[in-house]
Amino acid sequence: WQAPGPKLSPEQAIAAENLRAHVKANEFAVSVLEGVPGSGKTEVYLEAVCEALAQGKQALVLLPEIALGAQWLARFKARFGCEPAEWHSDLTQATRRKTWRAVATGEAKVIVGARSALFLPYNDLGVIIIDEEHDQSFKQEDGVIYNARDMAVVRANLGNIPISLVSATPSLESLRNVERGRYEHFDLPDRHAGAELPEISIVDMRQDKPDTGKWLSPKLIQALKETFAAGEQALLFLNRRGYAPLTLCQNCGHRFQCPQCTAWLVEHRFLGRLQCHHCGYQMKPPEKCPSCDQADKLYACGPGVERLAEEVEELFPNIRAEIAVSDNLHTPAQAQELVSQIEKREIDLIIGTQIVVKGYHFPYLTLVGVVDADVGLTGGDIRALERTYQLLYQVAGRAGRAERPGKVLVQTHDPENPVMQALQAGDHKGFIERMSQDRERNAMPPFGRLAGVILSGSDERAVDQAATNLARTAPRDKGVMTLGPAPAPLALLRGRHRRRFLVKAGRDVNIQARIRAWLKVTELPRKVRVQLDIDPYSFM
């Protein structure tokens, strides 16, 4: 049984018919489905799922974080009258075994899951959907390093089935494949049912300064007052978990660092813990500084969502606020409970990280405030600007998704940054063109090849020796450049010392073969681990 889908717009109908045709023909094809937030991309690809089911085949939908799938699961159940099989790390072993068998026998027809769902033993897979295809969490960074989006395209090619890459902000890699004629492209430029895109304003924090020790500008505070007075909902976005990212002693300057990682300990005040977000190490906050023995000198530096909630409570003691972070939204059930409260208007303000910005539809949410838009703009990441723009564009897309107009205030200390300029001007295509030109000028992906070689081990001397040996034999032929070795920004991670090389090459170079030959002729200590990261997303 399935309920009829909603009436599609002409643009939606064209994209949906194309996807259905590929499923019906049982042929490999890659399509990029681009559309502004609220344009109805999900309804388009559900048409492809319908066609796969009509053909007696299975459908796979990959989501970047399964906790984000709460509304998706509810929408699916309303449309199809049943729940899909789920696959993610929070399932019990018994459920995993049951799901694995159901997928293998073909009993499970629709599977929704995180990236590892790609490797289930499908009986007769008919279509693959990658929702939020640009999302960084599709890249597996530990163990075997791979990009689930790219592996899904390979899987679709091997199985001779269609795949759709869905996003409001497709990756430059996918858009480059569209330019080269390898992928089809469908664009949904308008919100569904005539809803207007929100008005985006940039708040210059150098001019509109918050009070000392506070993080909300007068302009954003006023917007919150007006929103609550109108009985509408607001979202404050800050991509930092916990209370504060750093604790230091104001007397001697001691900073609390993880003993196993080159990283500061994050204060989680609600839990009464200082915690490392890389290895999970925890300790109770001490009453005095371990270096100078001074009491009452420990200071929390910078804001996290918990500190923001504290400020909001002082400003608006009567509003109902809820923090939405991965620390308290582990499963779809927990996410669904939060979504239900928001939809019933039992919550006035959501304070959250990136977990709340992807794919959710809250009709009464009319104001979005980005508390610190500069997080993620700096560092050595070639995708820093692209990634920040994608995230902020998605955040802005939560506002005004129904008949109520939306407003977005973006707080920044760098209003001249191309990301902020593009957001305010609504110049999505211009920003993408600029980023593409910058990458092409520097021969960076997707216009060149890049690979990371990471050495790690518990013995720092052995790791340094391995790095020296590799440096002596590094590829230096035409068209290949080897940079390094250098200590990784996370020079110590989970007790292992780390050194990095970067190998840069042209698109026509088989970079994997070059690196394989390089490692083969180099003597490396057995206790040193070598990891290869093709097209790295993390440079830590």
Where residue 72 sits, what CATH number does that domain have? Answer: 3.40.50.300
* Gap between the Cα atoms of 332 and 465, Å rounded: 46
Prediction pTM value: 0.90
**What is the chain's percent helix, strand, coil content, to nearest 5?**
35, 25, 40
pLDDT at 402: 60
Kindly state the DSSP code that residue 67 receives in the 8-state scheme.
Answer: G
- The last residue of one of the domains, among 376, 405, 439, is 439
Residues 168 and 202 occupy one common structural domain: no
pLDDT at 1: 46
Give the number of domains in the chain. Answer: 3
Residues 392 and 509 occupy one common structural domain: no
For residue 482, tell me if it sits in a domain.
yes
Residues 316 and 346 occupy one common structural domain: yes
CB 28 within 8 A of CB 79: no
CB 205 within 8 A of CB 371: no
Residues 29 and 164 occupy one common structural domain: yes
Q: Which of 333, 534, 367 is nearest to 446 (CA)?
A: 534
Residues 182 and 217 occupy one common structural domain: no
pLDDT at 538: 80
Neighbouring C-beta atoms of residue 163, cutoff 10 Å: 27
% of the chain beyond a pLDDT of 70: 95
Residues 334 and 453 occupy one common structural domain: no
Burial call 182-197: b when 16+ CB within 10 Å, e when fewer:
ebbbbebebbbeebeb
For residue 20, tell me if it sits in a domain.
yes
Report the CATH number that the domain containing residue 519 is assigned in CATH: 3.30.70.600
pLDDT at 291: 92
* Gap between the Cα atoms of 178 and 300, Å rounded: 47
* Gap between the Cα atoms of 440 and 447, Å rounded: 5
For residue 155, tell me if it sits in a domain.
yes
* Gap between the Cα atoms of 366 and 171, Å rounded: 27
Strands 480-493 and 496-506: antiparallel
Residue with tokens 């959710």: 360
For residue 263, tell me if it sits in a domain.
no
pLDDT at 318: 94
- The last residue of one of the domains, among 417, 439, 461, is 439
pLDDT at 195: 64
For residue 262, tell me if it sits in a domain.
no
* Gap between the Cα atoms of 223 and 370, Å rounded: 12
Residues 154 and 217 occupy one common structural domain: no
Residue with tokens 């039992």: 346
**E strands along 162-276, which residues?**
162-167, 184-188, 199-204, 233-237, 246-249, 266-268, 273-275
Beta-carbon contacts of 4 under 8 Å, excluding residues fewer than 6 positions away, are none
CA distances from 216 to 224, 238, 308, 376 (A): 10, 11, 8, 19
Q: Which of 279, 288, 344, 351 is nearest to 315 (CA)?
A: 351
- Cα 164 to its chain centre, rounded Å, is 18
Beta-carbon contacts of 328 under 8 Å, excluding residues fewer than 6 positions away, are 334
- Domain region containing 472: 448-534
CB 114 within 8 A of CB 65: yes
pLDDT at 159: 95
For residue 257, tell me if it sits in a domain.
no
CA distances from 127 to 87, 164, 529 (A): 17, 8, 37
- Cα 266 to its chain centre, rounded Å, is 20
For residue 392, tell me if it sits in a domain.
yes
* Gap between the Cα atoms of 469 and 438, Å rounded: 34
Angle ∠(151,61,180) on CA atoms, nearest 5: 50
pLDDT at 146: 92
Residues 215 and 361 occupy one common structural domain: yes
* Gap between the Cα atoms of 222 and 220, Å rounded: 5
Which residues of the chain fall below pLDDT 50? 1
Residues 172 and 129 occupy one common structural domain: yes
Residues 204 and 104 occupy one common structural domain: no
- The last residue of one of the domains, among 439, 467, 493, is 439
What's the one-letter identity of residue 394? Q
Neighbouring C-beta atoms of residue 318, cutoff 10 Å: 7
Residues 155 and 214 occupy one common structural domain: no
Helix axes 428-441, 384-396, angle to 10 degrees: 170
* Gap between the Cα atoms of 445 and 504, Å rounded: 10
Beta-carbon contacts of 158 under 8 Å, excluding residues fewer than 6 positions away, are none
* Gap between the Cα atoms of 153 and 531, Å rounded: 23
pLDDT at 400: 67
Beta-carbon contacts of 62 under 8 Å, excluding residues fewer than 6 positions away, are 112, 113, 114, 115, 117, 118, 128, 129, 130, 131, 138, 148, 152
Residue with tokens 């089935």: 161
For residue 325, tell me if it sits in a domain.
yes
CA distances from 497 to 9, 67, 488, 502, 532 (A): 55, 33, 9, 17, 16
Residues 137 and 168 occupy one common structural domain: yes
What's the one-letter identity of residue 206? R
Kindly state the DSSP code that residue 396 receives in the 8-state scheme.
Answer: H
What's the one-letter identity of residue 477? D
CB 490 within 8 A of CB 261: yes
For 263, the token pair is 């990283």
Q: Which of 136, 389, 339 is nearest to 235 (CA)?
A: 339
